[in-house]
Amino acid sequence: MQTPDEARAAVKELAGRDVDLIKLVLEPGFPGHPMKRLDLECFKAAVAEAKARGLKTTVHVGTDEDARHAIEAGADGIEHAARGLSADTIALMAAKKVTFTPTLTVYDFDWKRSLVAGPDEAFHGLVIPEVLEGLREGKGPFAAMMGDDAIVKGLGMAFHQGLSSVEAASRAGVTILAGSDAGNPATFHGPSLIHELELLARAHVPLAEVLMAATSRGQPARSKNAGTNRGGGGGGPGGFGLRSLAIGFTGGGLSR
């Protein structure tokens, strides 16, 4: 997606497929792993087109700056914890009623490592044995990530920054949603969303709000498909559901 016209055309096409919301990606990558970030004019055109068509937008962000661009463009939600959100960004999210799906679980590698290596039979009953074996194998990509000190350190930092951002956002009155980003290495559908609720509680989100984050808050208020009980999906629960398409735009093209 190279031009604002292409961005608008992509949103138009998706709107024709009756999606519930559009997910865009603003991600420059991280030290040692740069990514081509979506052009800002394309990004703004996509958000504006979605808005004009009554579709919500939520944005995968990599940094606080990305989050600011998303909020200023009029996005409805922020996905992931952006390796720490600034107090100003959080205040802006509260003022503009931008939702926050921090996906803390995806950064919690201590938990993932213990889950994969540990003897938790209840957990093992929920996952495909071959997948678990693959993760345990010393040569797999998960083991490679775990063996890379820079990655482990960076993720640990992102995890703790994320917990702080969630606590600050919750205090500021930002609406928190529960999503696990399942599909990432060792981020299993099911157990990861439950763990996300534990992490929201660890970040001092009031327990009643933790429950709402995983249930009633997940349905986009303006969704054409509101009330059809779609179940949980990748980015967030409810309205980010199974039949809805969450679409990511990257500098390189379109992904789902």
* Dihedral sign, Cα of residue 245, residue 250, residue 254, residue 256: negative
Residue 195 lies near Zn ion (rule: CB under 5 A):
no
Nearest approach in angstroms of CB 178 to Zn ion is: 15
CA pair distance 144, 131, nearest whole angstrom: 16
Residue 60 lies near Zn ion (rule: CB under 5 A):
yes
- Per residue in 208-223, is it b (16+ CB within 10 Å) or e — as a string? ebbebbbeebbbbeeb
Residue 37 lies near Zn ion (rule: CB under 5 A):
no
Stretch that binds Zn ion, among 37-45, 53-61, 118-126, 207-215 (CB under 5 A): 53-61
Fill in the DSSP letter of residue 255.
E
Stretch that binds Zn ion, among 11-19, 42-50, 76-84, 193-201 (CB under 5 A): 76-84
Nearest approach in angstroms of CB 153 to Zn ion is: 21
Task: Give 164 or 250: the residue with its C-beta nearer to Zn ion.
Answer: 250
Task: Give 60 or 230: the residue with its C-beta nearer to Zn ion.
Answer: 60
- Phi and psi, residue 242, nearest 5°: -65, -40
Task: Decide: helix, strand or coil at residue 27.
Answer: coil
CA pair distance 225, 57, nearest whole angstrom: 15
Residue 68 lies near Zn ion (rule: CB under 5 A):
no
Nearest approach in angstroms of CB 46 to Zn ion is: 15
- Residues forming the site for Zn ion (CB under 5 A): 60, 79
